[in-house]
Amino acid sequence: MPHYRVRSTTPAPVGTVWGLLIDGRSWPRWSSGLDELVEERSSGLDPRGHDGIGSVRAFRTGRVVTGERLTELVTDRRMAYEDAFNFAMRNYRAAIELESTTAGGTSITWHGSWRMRPGVGWIMPFVLPRVMQRMADDLAAYAAEGLV
Which residues, listed in sequence order, are joined to residue 64 by a DSSP beta bridge?
61
Task: Quote the distance between the C-alpha of residue 135 and its chain's center.
Answer: 7
10 Å CB burial of residue 70 (0-12, 13-18, 19+) is: buried
Per-residue pLDDT of the chain (148 residues; tens, 9 = 90+): 899 999 999 999 999 999 999 999 999 999 999 999 999 999 999 999 999 999 999 999 999 999 999 999 999 999 999 999 987 788 999 999 999 999 999 999 999 998 887 776 666 777 889 999 999 999 999 999 976 5
36-37 β-sheet, strand order: 3-10, 106-116, 89-100, 78-85, 64-74, 56-61, 36-37
What is d(CA 108, CA 119) in angstroms, rounded to the nearest whole number? 32
Strands 89-100 and 3-10: unpaired
3-class DSSP state of 84: strand
Could you give all domains of the chain from N- to C-terminal order, each with its CATH number? 3-145 (3.30.530.20)
Whole-model pTM: value is 0.93
